[in-house]
Chains A and B, each alone.
Chain A
Amino acid sequence: MADLLTTQRLTKNFEGLVAVNQVNFRIQEGQVTGLIGPNGSGKTTLFNLLSGLFTPTEGTVSFLGTDVTRVPPHKRVQMGMARTFQLVSVFDSLTVWENLVLSNIRFKTEQQSLRNFFFASSRRKDIADDCMSSLELVGLESRASSVTSELSYGDKRMLEIAIALSLRPSVLLLDEPLAGLSDHEIGEVVSLIYKVKKNFALGIIEHKISKIVELVDRLCVMNYGRIICEGVPGQVLCDPQVRECYWGKEDNKC
């Protein structure tokens, strides 16, 4: 299986605090890669380095065989890498529909015409069709004209995932997609992920291990900025080092 996204000795140092330390991480074609670890272990920092929001202190990030270590975030998205955030990131001042219009407009072509650049709008049929199918996928058709700030947290999470999907990524990074959701909402998000996961490789950070253990093909565990264990979930979750950092010294039964 081909590696789509890889890092080599990736390190991020925040004024003395090494948040990510010499990490070799990879996401492979057609696979779901889970990333777990205690709070503050460097998972989100690693995702920020992968998506280009942080520049690494050391090491490299390669995407689709190209070194993207110094490539800005928006170019990585154009290359096919999308992500969501731990704290849901949607545009509260816009309507649900406008959120999707911004993600569906194909700017690479729009920018060739100054008029389109200024006035391209959701009235264009191809954009409107894309927006509608995104809404249908996450069941938010009836909320299209609502201002996003009025949505529940669960609906915002669904919208955020719909936005990421509409970017048609080859790699999607989900940062704790289940955080802050009710059991019912968790069920909806998990079944959405099952529905769409065949379309791309997926990297997923999650604390609710039981909810994703069936979903992931490979599981990586981070602690103190390093990947301490990786492999198939069953084995990884039985690793004594992993059990110690997650459940404490006493729990070594598997």
Chain B
Amino acid sequence: MIESAIYGLTIGAILYFVSIGLSITFGTMRIINFAHGMVYALGVYFFITFLPRVGGNFVISALLAIAAAIPVGYAIERFVIRRLYGESLDYAIIATYALLLIGTDAIKWIWGTVPQQVTEPIGISFRFFGGGFPLYRVVISLSALVLFLGLNLFFRKTVIGRIVIAALDDSEGVQCLGLDVNKYFSIVFVLGSCLAVLGGILYAPISAADPYMGHDILLIAFAVVIVGGMGNLTGTFISALALGLVIAITGRYWSEAADTMVFAVMAIVLIYKSYKA
């Protein structure tokens, strides 16, 4: 059971890395961004490409992959997402889903369709209550906590952070303060893309990289955002960890239903929210 809990927190941590960008994008720009899954997968493939070229150094390769994903994230925001502000959600879904498909095909074309394994960077396990726990998973879980605290600091203490929080309340109101809201959205969008890439890289040694990895995680990440509340930063953190635990614990007893259970929880939350409203 403790083993499942640690696995759940690991999955939850990865979901948090991926969901936070989606949550802010939806909260501020009212755009459902499927291209997030494309950036997530592409970042992992960048990482795999850099890894042997930097002597297998996990950290340097991760930093390079994140740096390489920045222009991709920026280009998506600048040339696709920004044109969709204020438009119907359908356009955003079609445009960003097209990007996801294009990205997936590009990955298949460049790197092939065979899943690629990544070696775990910390090959240490420790024993606890009779179970074996890889230290790497504990590190991932803790890194999500560090990210949560760091983002809280960022959103509370920096001017950009306060502007984004204000834009989550009312983005037209922010424009009426004389602030170019698009510029702040760009910064936050790229930040969200970088975090998704980091999440993908951290998850790669556990799951392996395949061209459809962005599709798989994206739907669950959307469930995290819906359960946590769109644009709710703390809600996203709690919901990511909770749904990670749901996946792990359901998987332990009924592995076929692990992902389905996430959407069952989402449905219950949606019903509860509409009932409360």
B175→A91 contact, CB < 8 A? no
Residue in A73, A75, A94 whose CB lies within 8 Å of B165? A94
A244 within 8 A of B: no
Q: Which residues of B contact A93 (CB under 8 A)?
A: 165-166, 168-169
B158 interface residue (CB < 8 Å to A): yes
- Do B181 and A74 touch (CB < 8 A)? yes
- Across-interface contacts of B158 in A (CB, < 8 A): 118-119
Task: Let me know if B176 is at the binding interface, CB within 8 A.
Answer: yes
Q: Beyond A117-B160, A118-B159, is A91–B173 a contact (Cβ under 8 Å)?
A: yes
Instruction: Tell me the smallest distance from the CB of A249 to a CB of chain B, in Å.
Output: 39
B179 touches A91 (CB 8 A): no
Which residues of chain A from 79 to 103 have a CB within 8 Å of any chain B CB? Answer: 82-83, 85, 89-94, 98-99, 101-103
Q: Are B172 and A102 in contact (CB under 8 A)?
A: no
Closest CB of chain A to B156's CB: distance in Å? 10
* Contact between chains at B177 and A94 (CB < 8 Å): no
- Write the A66-79 contact mask toward B (1 if CB under 8 angstroms, else 0): 00000011110110
Cα separation A1 to B170 with both chains bound (whole Å): 36
Q: Specify which chain B residues have a CB less than 8 angstroms from the CB of A89 in the assembled complex.
A: 170, 172-173, 176
CB distance from B179 to the nearest CB of A (A): 6
B14 to chain A, nearest CB (A): 27
Chain B residue nearest to A118 (CB atoms) is B158
- Cα separation A167 to B178 with both chains bound (whole Å): 8
Most chain B Cβ neighbours within 10 Å, of A78, A107, A167: A107
Give the size range of A's interface with the partner. 20 to 34
Q: Does B90 contact A (CB under 8 A)?
A: no
> Across the interface, do B159 and A105 meet the contact criterion of CB distance under 8 Å?
yes
Residue of B nearest to A73 (CB): B175
Residue B163 is within 8 A (CB to CB) of chain A in the complex: yes
- B162 interfacial contact with A, CB 8 Å: yes
Residue B216 interfacial (CB < 8 Å): no
Contacts A102-B163, A119-B158, A121-B159; is A90 near B173 (CB within 8 Å)?
yes
- Asked whether any CB of chain B lies closer than 8 Å to the CB of A58, the reply is no
A91 to B179, CA, bound (A): 14
Name the distance in Å between A37's Cβ and chain B's nearest Cβ.
23
- Given A74-B180, A93-B168, A102-B166, the answer on whether A53 and B159 have CB atoms closer than 8 Å is no
Per-residue interface assignment for chain A, residues 104 to 130, with 1 indicating a CB less than 8 Å from any chain B CB and 0 otherwise: 010100100000011111000000000
Q: Tell me, rounded to whole Å, the shortest Cβ–Cβ distance linking B26 to chain A.
A: 16
Which residues from chain B contact A27 at a C-beta distance below 8 Å? none
Q: Mark B42-81, 1 if CB is under 8 A from A, else 0.
A: 0000000000000000000000000000000000000000
Q: Would you call B179 and A107 a contact (CB within 8 A)?
A: yes
Q: How far is the CA of A73 from the CA of B172 in the complex (A)?
A: 9
Q: A163 within 8 Å of B by Cβ?
A: yes
A51 at the interface (CB under 8 A from B): yes
Given that A117-B159, A117-B160, A119-B159 are contacting pairs, would A74 and B165 also be in contact in the complex, using a CB cutoff of 8 Å?
no
9 A-B residue pairings within 8 Å (CB atoms): A73-B176, A78-B178, A85-B173, A89-B173, A93-B165, A94-B162, A102-B163, A118-B158, A167-B177
Residues of A within 8 A of B (CB): 51-53, 72-75, 77-78, 82-83, 85, 89-94, 98-99, 101-103, 105, 107, 110, 117-121, 163-164, 167
Q: With A74-B181, A93-B165, A117-B160 given, can you name 10 additional A-B contacts, CB distance below 8 Å?
A: A74-B179, A89-B170, A91-B165, A91-B169, A92-B169, A99-B166, A110-B159, A119-B158, A163-B177, A167-B177
